[in-house]
Amino acid sequence: MAIRYIPYYPDTIEGQAILDNFARTRRTLKYRDNDKVIERVKRGAPLYEMEKIETVGDNKDGNMVIRGECLSACAYLKDRGIKVDLVYIDPPFASGADYAKKIYVRRNPQLAEAIAKAEEELPNDELQNFEEKMYGDIWDKERYLNWMYENLFAIKSVMSETASIYVHLDWHIGHYVKILMDEIFGEDNFRNEIIWHYSTLGRPDDRFALKHDTIFLYGKTDETFFNKEGATMQYSEEYIKSHFRDVDKNGNVCRKRFDAGKWRIYYPDDGMIPNDVWNIPYENSMSKERVDYATQKPEALLERIIKASSNENMIVADFFGGSGVTAAVAAKLGRKFIHCDIGINSVQTARDRLIANNAAFDMLEIKDGVSFYRNPVQTMEKLKTLITGLRNEDSLDKFWEGAIDGSKEGTIPVYIPNLLDSGAKLLDLALMNRIIREAMPDLPDDTKKVVVYYIDAIDLKEINDFIKEYNDTLIEIELRDLKELLDEVVAEDYAEYTIGEIKNDLFSGWRVKINKFISDRVNRKIDEYNEKLFNSPNRILIGESGLETIEFLSLDCSSDSGVWHSDEEIKIDKFGYAIKNGVKTKDFWDGAICSEKKPLRLKIRNICGDENVYKLCD
């Protein structure tokens, strides 16, 4: 349940295009339901409990990696009076795609060397792997725009007066969002439409190849901070050769140009602020920068943005942080950072990336009831399996998730809020009204009961009173709390380990050896994958010990409870090599983790991203 609602930035800019214009241009934009978002914007962003999960290094700068929704992260920042100086967001594009992550089964440490030899010739894709959904980008335009509108409002309310916002989109939805941005930030605060041009493979022969994304840059006010020096780029040698053909009175190479009414002299070392078309290559799968995140953007792109629109020590925020590229570049450039993302895979990837950059930060989790499972897409899928007897029912409108058979009540339609859409999460009077007035009248005549799941409700009593007063159908409405269902999802992974003290010439300390690791959640995924392959040789095989399903281990030698402090950690990359405390090695993981100090807790992350903590007893 939200603690309270935090008001957004007061109002849209007077005299600018307002959302209602869309309704008037129904013919082209068909933007229905835009009035629904107004209610939500009036209510504000939901503020939830925030839990600190881990602290990395001496986080004097207050850097944050937040797991949760953009809206609630903004509510948290606003509640604490934290303002950010630069925002870059690369939200879902409404691309119609589902993004998946390849999960690589690691090598069995006992057999690692032998397997490596056998696999030497295989391309990466042939390492044992299966896929897991990360996030879905399938929206209808209206829902997307409403969602985006609310997010932009939330973000605006945490921007400092001189802050800039870069919104990275493409042809799918970019032009519509530009209109929302005009409304929210004001046409006068528009700064640039940046074209990020890249060359990737694939050229259709029936039209021009789509090879650019669009980044809209707005200021919060007309006093936007712009770092002229940071934005300036050096000329390439080629450019100098072709453009600098004059000499000054001292014989230095220069370029003389008649600019803005007078002659000016430019020198090769001066560099210049680039124009709005940026040619920056996409990092391919072999690049060192790649962290296996489907929509990962290049560091060079973020470097240009961060250098141009911030100074050292300013706060740079990315509320759809993905692979952590913004936070990683901000940290490298001496900026403070806030990374937020709804998916567990994102916050883990960002965390591990930042550790490799020696950054200090806190890992925070918003307790909003949505992020129970690894991400909302997987939570939605899981939910459907948890509702006993739920099946698709073709005769029902798509508003209903499906139906269950109740012996006395016949077929019971079930409504589940779409966790991908923050607007649908909250059961309020408007939604109840819609259920009663729009969804229930279309149900088959013999329907006796419906079940409405909710994740959050402002006031259940008020909703029940509303049902009593306005439900004039004969259909009973049962409200059920989704969180209770989700509580059943979390099953612990099982680990067997031995701890020993070691003293020899090379090392003095402790060694925790993992003997067995069983993750039902991972094993179930592998079983599902194998089932589809029948007897194919590509079936995934896991050894007795199950150590191939471990991705990461960490030891906390400082405290046996509360916030995690990683004193030693090992990440096992997809080839089986150990990354120790962020430093890549060419050693295969040997099935153990060592620390100089006595370890008090062990954390193990499985290859799908679930983490478990084990208290280490003597």
The minimum distance between CB 432 and ligand SAM, in angstroms, equals 23
Nearer to ligand SAM, 310 or 346 (CB): 346
Q: Write down how long the chain is.
A: 618
Nearer to ligand SAM by C-beta: 297 or 351?
297
Q: How far is CA 558 from CA 355, 595, 612, in A?
A: 18, 12, 17
The answer to the question of residue 346 lying near ligand SAM (CB under 6 A) is: yes
Interacting residue with ligand SAM among 48, 76, 176, 293 (CB under 6 A): 293
Tell whether residue 69 is a contact of ligand SAM (CB under 6 A).
Answer: yes
Strand order across the beta sheet in which 592-595 lies: 494-503, 508-518, 592-595
Quick check: 75 binds ligand SAM (CB under 6 A)?
A: no
Taking CB under 6 A as the binding criterion, the range among 279-287, 319-327, 471-479, 505-513 that sits at the site for ligand SAM is 319-327
Among 325, 512, 540, 547, binds ligand SAM (CB under 6 A): 325
Part in contact with ligand SAM (CB under 6 A); list of ranges 173-181, 320-328, 397-405, 610-618 = 320-328
- Min separation Cβ 166 and ligand SAM, Å: 11
Closer CB to ligand SAM, 130 or 293, in the complex: 293
Q: Looking at 183-191, 305-313, 342-350, 545-553, which segment touches ligand SAM (CB under 6 A)?
A: 342-350
Q: Does 341 bind ligand SAM (CB under 6 A)?
A: yes
Question: Binding ligand SAM by CB under 6 A: which of 174, 322, 413, 609?
Answer: 322
Pairing label, strands 361-366, 64-67: parallel
User: Which stretch, 34-42, 192-200, 212-220, 318-326, contacts ligand SAM (CB under 6 A)?
Assistant: 318-326
Nearer residue to ligand SAM within complex by CB, 346 or 348: 346
Beta carbon nearer to ligand SAM, 95 or 221: 95
* Binds ligand SAM (CB under 6 A): choice among 108, 157, 296, 447: 296
Q: Which of 44, 186, 343, 591 binds ligand SAM (CB under 6 A)?
A: 343
The site that binds ligand SAM (CB under 6 A) totals a number of residues, namely: 21
- The region, left, alpha or beta by phi > 0 then psi within -120 to 50, assigned to residue 251 is left
The reply to whether 153 sits near ligand SAM by the rule CB under 6 A is: no
Residue choice 104, 135, 235, 510 for contact with ligand SAM (CB under 6 A): 135
Integer Cα distance of 272 and 612 in angstroms = 51
List 595's β-bridge partners, or say none: 510
Q: Are 309 and 335 in contact (CB under 8 A)?
A: no
Within residues 3-42, the interface with ligand SAM by CB under 6 A covers: none
b/e sequence 561-576, b meaning 16+ C-beta within 10 Å:
eeebbbbbbbbbebbb
* Residue 92 engages ligand SAM in binding (rule: CB under 6 A): yes
Please state the closest distance from residue 50 (CB atom) to ligand SAM, in A. 15
Which lies closer to ligand SAM via its Cβ, residue 300 or residue 592? 300
User: What letter represents residue 139's amino acid?
Assistant: W
Per CB under 6 A, the list member of 6, 50, 70, 604 interacting with ligand SAM is 70
Residue 371 makes contact with ligand SAM by CB under 6 A: no
- Locate the DSSP E strands across 276-350: 277-279, 315-318, 336-341
> What is the per-residue DSSP string for 562-618?
SSB--SEEEEE-TTSEEEETTEEEEEEP-SEEEESSPP-EEEEEETTS-EEEEEPP-
Q: Which residue is nearest to ligand SAM (CB)?
A: 322
- Residue 47, classed as helix, strand or coil, is strand
Residue with Cβ nearer ligand SAM (289 or 481): 289
Sign (positive or negative) of CA dihedral 221, 183, 295, 608: positive
> C-alpha angle 510/516/519, rounded to 5°?
120
For the chain, helix, strand, coil in percent to 5 are 30, 30, 40
Identity of the residue, 341 or 548, whose beta carbon is nearer to ligand SAM in the bound complex: 341
- What is the secondary structure of 200-218 as a DSSP string? -S---SSS----EEEEEEE
Q: Rounded to the nearest whole angstrom, what is the least distance from the CB of residue 301 to ligand SAM in the complex?
A: 8
> How distant, in Å, are the alpha carbons of 383, 430, 440, 476 from that of 436?
24, 10, 5, 11
Stretch that binds ligand SAM, among 322-330, 360-368, 423-431, 605-613 (CB under 6 A): 322-330
Please give the helix or strand (H or E) that residue 144 lies within, else none: helix 141-156
CB of 508 to ligand SAM, least distance (A): 41
Q: Does 196 bind ligand SAM (CB under 6 A)?
A: no
Stretch that binds ligand SAM, among 182-190, 272-280, 295-303, 491-499 (CB under 6 A): 295-303
Q: List binders of ligand SAM among 402-431 (CB under 6 A).
A: 422
Of 85-93, 105-113, 260-268, 357-365: span binding ligand SAM (CB under 6 A): 85-93
Distance CA 108, CA 116 (A): 10
* 593 vs 551: CA distance, rounded Å: 13
Nearest CA to 63 out of 368, 326, 311, 290 is that of: 326
Q: How many CA atoms lie within 13 A of 546 on its CB side?
A: 21
Does the CA dihedral 416-422-425-431 come out positive or negative? negative
Helix (H, G, I), strand (E, B) or coil at 451: strand
Does 605 help bind ligand SAM (rule: CB under 6 A)?
no
Q: Which residues bind ligand SAM (CB under 6 A)?
A: 69-70, 90-92, 135, 293, 295-297, 319-320, 322-323, 325, 340-343, 346, 422
